[in-house]
Structure 1
Amino acid sequence: MGAGTNGPSNGASAAAAAGERADDGTTVFRGTAYSPLRTTVALALWLGAIHFNAFLVLASLFLFPRRVAALVLATQLFIMFVPLNDKSRLGRKIASFISKYVIGYFPVTLHVEDYGAFDSNRAYVFGYEPHSVLPIAVGILGDLVGFMPLPKMKILASSAVFYTPFLRQIWTWLGLAPASRKSFYSYLGAGYSCIIVPGGVQEILHMDHDSESYVYKWWRPGGKLIVKIARAIKFSPIIFWGKLGTPIPFATPMHVVVGRPIEVVKNPQPTIEEINEVHRQFVVAMQDLFEKYKTRTGYPDLRLRVL
């Protein structure tokens, strides 16, 4: 879908110049490694809020005196509902710091099949797969990174994120927004390209240890009750951990591939058949990209499951 936007930022232009041109015409961008201290701080800010909240709740229940526990829980509740400001100067500085230092940690490599096919004056919808424990590699597509020639980007995430203290502030500054129909339409109409995970957090229910990314170790409870809970709260209960049991993920190389845009005709009231046809094109394109890149990215025996 096309929509009017501003021209590309200087960061995006610089990033395009820095991309490597592969023999097959693909443009490749690689994360730059920085000092371990700054990278660790950036990772902790980006991903540590989930574990930090869990620690505060458990400590309030079992360790803190009652008054301290009540104050901690009250503070968390306040932070859950305080209004968010995605234009905060301090917040955007923190987000820029995170974006700069984390993508070189794994590192994350971005492969763009046809860089010239993306028009900075249009808005696009990106379907990112798989969700995995956390779809953290999607951050390489963010506007603060500047690799894609699109000046306005929003990553749509589960609404549960925006009720999680501290995490909701950090991820909003990073360019995330709730994955609701209202939010989706609003941002597309304002000229933002939107990144969605079609399978959502419920994909966690289908994960196995042999076919997902290896940046975290994890344990997931089973049973039909867990499925019902996950659907109700829009979040799949899971315990995950990284280095030394912390939220710092393992430094496993990750690759994100962006295929050529699928052109669609703007239609505010598509039929089920038209929706299914676009979905079919997306699945076929994703399967083709997976088979093309799995060997060159180091996973020749990996299989793609589409449920």
Structure 2
Amino acid sequence: MRIEFAPLRVPLGRRLQTLAVLQWVFSFLALAQCCLALFVLLLLSDFWYLGLLYLAWLYLDRDTPAWGGRRSEWTRNWTVWRYFRDYFPITLVKTAELDPARNYVFGFHPHGVLVAGAFGNFCTEATGFSRLFPGLRPHLLMLPFWFKVPLFRDYIMSAGLVSSEKSSAVHLLGKPSGGQVAVIAVGGPPESLDARPGPVTLQILGRKGFIKIALSQGAQLVPVFSFGENELFHQVENPPGSLIRLVQEKLQKVMGVALPLFHARGVFQYSFGLLPFRRPVHTVVGEPIPVTKSVNPTTEEIEALHETYLYHLTRLFETHKARYGIAENQHLNLV
């Protein structure tokens, strides 16, 4: 394999962009393990009593990830996120006004490998979410497992991440004052196994939990499509039924997280590595779908709203795809 090295003379701004994305990838793949190891070392050190105090804090604070989290506007406005945004770059596109007196469920598609668009747009202010949607507070839902990791949990909550358990979404969307946005990567970790350049496959036909929650809380549904999300990484071929795919699906069921075998570029060369490619990501927020509150929605109500959501999601994709470089004959593959 021929290795394409990066030029020796690269503008400082681009170096800082690469560094910003490098720390983000590290945070996604290894920061939780490092935080856990650091906490264990603290317990084994002469400062073990600080570890015990933190354990007491964890117990007292155990419900916070499911009760709106503990976001920090300071963290969300770090300068590093602007460099992160400009690396790709990531752009947030508004297509309709959203009433801050209401609550919303943003269905984010596709999941991608590392949900770069969801993080950049809804866990930071780098793309101007608060400016585009004044009065709204986005919360990206994440697997509950990660909020059990010492130190790491506090860091991710500061960016606005909350637990993806049902009670968490209900708490947010049940606030009568409105202004709350629950951002859900509908396809979940399993969809990341299909995240690669080319035709987009969305795992959505059997996913109706977010529909039920929206109905039970009377929250409006908003489809969000992140064009370019799947272009950031390549994956080892893993077609359905292959040995690699079977192992990945088995591990996903056991561990709760998917393990896509992805690759892209490195820090000093462009031929291999775990850094994403520099590809533009345009995250388009669609029009809100009115939802009539039904505390105990029937199967018929859920199915009807799910069909309506699929229609609006497909229309959003078809309306904007040509603008973002997708061929006219390419359509969503819904499974």
State the TM-score, normalizing by the size of structure 1. Answer: 0.71
1:306 maps to a residue whose letter is L
| Residues 1:126 and 2:148 aligned together | no
Deviation at 1:205, TM superposition (A): 3.3
Q: 1:201 maps to which residue?
A: 189
Query: Which one of 202, 210, 232 corresponds to residue 215 of structure 1?
Result: 232
Deviation at 1:243, TM superposition (A): 2.7
Query: Which one of 319, 322, 325 corresponds to residue 292 of structure 1?
Result: 319
| Residues 161-170 or 264-273, more deviating | 161-170
Change (3 A) 1:302 1:254: farther
Query: Which one of 107, 110, 121 corresponds to residue 140 of structure 1?
Result: 121
Change (3 A) 1:39 1:76: farther
Query: Which one of 143, 160, 182 corresponds to residue 158 of structure 1?
Result: 143
Q: Which residues of structure 2 form unaligned runs of 5+?
A: 1-11, 44-50, 201-229, 267-271
Take 2:88 and 2:233, find their aligned partners in 1: how far apart are those partners? Answer: 12
- Preserved CA contact (<8 Å) 1:49 1:165: no
Q: Which residues of structure 1 form unaligned runs of 5+?
A: 1-33, 58-69
- Preserved CA contact (<8 Å) 1:48 1:248: no
| Residues 1:303 and 2:331 aligned together | yes
1:137-171 deviation line (CA, Å, top 9, x unaligned): 12314573323234321111223443567654443
**SS in structure 2 of the partner of residue 224 of structure 1:** helix
| Residues 1:181 and 2:166 aligned together | yes
| Residues 1:94 and 2:122 aligned together | no
Q: How does 1:14-33 map to 2 (within 5 A)?
A: none
Take 2:298 and 2:231, find their aligned partners in 1: how far apart are those partners? Answer: 39
**SS in structure 2 of the partner of residue 261 of structure 1:** coil
| Residues 1:109 and 2:107 aligned together | no
2:323 maps to a residue whose letter is R
- Preserved CA contact (<8 Å) 2:141 2:183: yes
1:283 maps to a residue whose letter is L
Take 1:126 and 1:208, find their aligned partners in 2: how far apart are those partners? Answer: 23
Number of aligned residue pairs: 257
Take 1:153 and 1:179, find their aligned partners in 2: how far apart are those partners? Answer: 13
**SS in structure 1 of the partner of residue 87 of structure 2:** coil
1:45 maps to a residue whose letter is Q
1:74 maps to a residue whose letter is V
Q: How does 1:49-88 map to 2 (within 5 A)?
A: 49-52=27-30, 74-75=40-41, 83=58, 87=70
Query: Which one of 148, 153, 156 corresponds to residue 171 of structure 1?
Result: 156
1:159 maps to a residue whose letter is P
| Residues 292-301 or 261-270, more deviating | 292-301
1:225-257 deviation line (CA, Å, top 9, x unaligned): 432321232211223344315543221011111
- Preserved CA contact (<8 Å) 2:196 2:234: no
Q: 1:282 maps to which residue?
A: 309
- Preserved CA contact (<8 Å) 2:138 2:182: yes
Change (3 A) 1:170 1:72: closer
